Amino acid sequence: FRQAFPSRSMSSMPANVRIFEVGARDGLQNEPEMIPADVKVQLVDMLSRTGLKAIEVTSFVSPKWVPQMGDNTEVMSRIARLSGIDYAVLTPNMKGYEAAVEADAQEVAVFAAASESFSHKNLNCDIATSLERFAPLLEQAAKDGVRVRGYVSCVVGCPFEGAINPSAVADVTTWMLDRGCYEVSLGDTIGVGTPGSTGAMLHELIMTRGIAADKLGIHCHNTYGQALANIYTALQMGVGTVDSSVSGLGGCPYAPGARGNVATEDVLFMLDGMGIETGVDMDKLLEASLYISDYLGRVPQSNAANAILAKKKREQAESGNK
């Protein structure tokens, strides 16, 4: 599926982009050492002060499968929720949804794959079955007034099947939107996408199937260093929501070889340079990035963060020598 796609003009790019921060959930869920709830709460609170408008906090999955998220209720009860910010959680089924609502979640997310093999590996069922399992959840959320976001994994490539037909992505996305998801995030789960394959996929959804670009988000992993290029391609197609993870944290346990999500700092640096408004303060974002990176004992997995921090350190040294 390497066909060329008609590019759209720069005028199609959104003037404002919503950065959907996934570091506290997608970023931390696979960390091998258990992270205290205190650290997670502090991270979310620091992210809340950056100007971000959407933060995924945790997931309500069985601690048997994702033990790192076993403190979900505690974390949700302790974060300082600021007005104007959507605090979302991942819910794989009705049990998870009910627990999330009990924890006062105002937004939940459901997930499916565009790859049959990945669906079987991740959800132990085929795509159609995985979607039907979400139907009762979506119906209940509509009654409860809870917003639902959809995630589609493996939108351009699968670790088990290889290239994914864009029509499969469109089918899953359409199903989610038709049943009440306010937005669907398109995930390049193993980071194999390029502007060519990403553009072809988006062309199928937006131009061929008629799905509104403002109903879509883009979620890129940076395995092959293509994340920013793919995000730029999505912006050209009119997509105005970008998922990213502070300090480039995270990956997918079911995708062999997958590295971290694209770093929020790198996305913000690019968008700022393009004159696209996000409302996010880089300095405050760097504080959050350093906080969680220091706790984990590693440097931020962000080119922009490391460059900016090195520049500040150099300027401080030069100032001290005067």
Q: What is the tens place of the pLDDT at every residue in 187-201? A: 999 999 999 999 999
Provide mean pLDDT across the span 288-294: 97
Query: Phi/psi class of residue 45: alpha, beta or left (left: φ > 0; alpha: ψ in -120 to 50)?
Result: alpha
Closest of 307, 313, 302, 321 to residue 27, by C-alpha: 302
**Confidence band for 11, pLDDT divided at 50, 70 and 90:** low
pLDDT over 90 for what percent of the chain? Answer: 86
pTM value surpassing 0.85 = yes
The per-residue pLDDT for 124 is: 86
107-116 b/e (C-beta count within 10 Å ≥ 16 → b): bbbbbbbbbb
Rounded CA separation 136/140 (Å): 6
Closest of 16, 74, 71, 52 to residue 289, by C-alpha: 52
Counting Cβ atoms within 10 Å, is residue 74 exposed (0-12), middle (13-18) or buried (19+)?
A: middle
From the candidates 154, 181, 220, 252, which is the catalytic residue? 252
- Quick check: 1 pLDDT over 60? no
pLDDT digits (tens, 9 = 90+) for 131-185: 999 999 999 999 999 999 999 999 999 989 999 999 999 999 999 999 999 999 9
Rounded CA separation 217/59 (Å): 19
pLDDT over 70 for what percent of the chain? Answer: 93
Our answer to whether residue 181 is catalytic in this structure is no
Provide mean pLDDT across the span 300-304: 95
DSSP-derived pairing of the beta strands 157-158 and 54-59: unpaired
Rounded CA separation 206/168 (Å): 14
Q: What is the DSSP string of 74-128?
A: HHHHHS-PPTT-EEEEE--SHHHHHHHHHTT-SEEEEEEES-HHHHHHHHSS-HH
The per-residue pLDDT for 252 is: 57
The per-residue pLDDT for 9 is: 47
Provide mean pLDDT across the span 248-260: 67
Q: How far is CA 46 from the centre of its chain?
A: 18
φ/ψ (deg, to 5) at 203: -60, -40
The per-residue pLDDT for 318 is: 84
- Quick check: 32 pLDDT over 60? yes
